[in-house]
């Protein structure tokens, strides 16, 4: 029989979509207030290079950037971060002329995987509480991240994968120092 252990810790991950630098700055400051120092940030890129899915909701000028935070967090109730980020989206401008201004996709990075939280249920997502679902977006195997059938196209983009591999190396080093 398996032994029940305390909840693991992992590094907070956020993918921020934004329409203006001002709203971007507001969200980053709030994330840093809550989660501390940013371990690393990926490249800023145009969402339209990967999909037109968000154009009706955000307009045609939409950028995105990924972040990993330095301090690992206990995962016991970490899914509630999605509720908090939903509130942050509203407080950071909500909608302007019927267009959303920011979107924050929270999750966590650990050496073996990247997990994202969502309010939307789907076949590959598991309910983790309070109407929040979790999905494994990328799996780390044999020295690289493996894409899954539902992995969003920008998460498999070479520059984002390079960023996530660098972050993985850093969190592995961090784990070795703290154990």
Output the average pLDDT for the chain: 95
- Of the candidates 66, 166, 70, 48, the one whose C-alpha atom is nearest the C-alpha of residue 116 is 66
Q: Which two tokens stand for residue 10?
A: 């992992």
Amino acid 84: pLDDT:
98
- Cα 42 from chain centroid (whole Å): 11
pLDDT of 8 over the 70 cut: yes
In the DSSP assignment, the letter for residue 48 is G
Confidence of residue 69 (pLDDT cuts 50, 70, 90): very high
Q: What is the pLDDT of residues 108-158, one digit of tens each?
A: 999 999 999 999 999 999 999 999 999 999 999 999 999 999 999 999 999
Amino acid 98: pLDDT:
66
Taking the whole predicted model, whether its pTM rises above 0.85 is answered as yes
CA dihedral sign, ordered 16, 17, 21, 22: negative
What are 160-165's contacts with CB under 8 Å, separation 24+? 160/42, 160/43, 160/45, 160/66, 163/40, 163/41, 163/42, 163/43, 163/66, 164/42, 164/66, 164/109, 164/114, 164/138
Confidence of residue 60 (pLDDT cuts 50, 70, 90): confident
- Cβ atoms within 10 A of the Cβ of 116, count? 22
Confidence of residue 178 (pLDDT cuts 50, 70, 90): confident
pLDDT of 94 over the 70 cut: no
Q: What is the mean pLDDT of residues 7-33?
A: 96
Give me the architecture of the 9-178 domain, per CATH: 2-Layer Sandwich (3.30)
Amino acid 18: pLDDT:
95
Q: Which two tokens stand for residue 56?
A: 């009706």
Q: What is the mean pLDDT of residues 19-37?
A: 96
Q: What is the mean pLDDT of residues 16-23?
A: 93
Confidence of residue 99 (pLDDT cuts 50, 70, 90): confident
pLDDT of 95 over the 80 cut: no
């Amino acid at each position: 029989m398996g032994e029940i252990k305390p909840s693991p810790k992992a590094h907070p991950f956020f993918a921020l979509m934004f329409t203006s630098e001002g709203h971007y700055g507001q969200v980053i400051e709030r994330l840093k207030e809550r989660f501390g120092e940013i371990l690393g940030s990926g490249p800023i890129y145009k969402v339209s290079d990967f999909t037109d899915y968000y154009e009706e909701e955000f307009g045609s000028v939409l950028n995105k950037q990924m972040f990993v935070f330095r301090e690992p967090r206990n995962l016991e109730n970490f899914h509630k971060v999605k509720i908090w980020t939903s509130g942050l989206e509203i407080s950071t401008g909500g909608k302007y002329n019927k267009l959303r201004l920011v979107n924050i996709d929270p999750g966590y990075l650990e050496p073996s995987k990247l997990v994202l939280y969502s309010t939307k249920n789907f076949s590959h997502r598991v309910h983790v509480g309070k109407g929040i679902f979790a999905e494994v977006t990328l799996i780390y195997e044999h020295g690289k991240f493996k894409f899954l059938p539902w992995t969003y196209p920008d998460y498999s983009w070479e520059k984002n994968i390079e960023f996530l591999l660098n972050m993985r190396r850093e969190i592995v080093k961090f784990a070795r120092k703290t154990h």
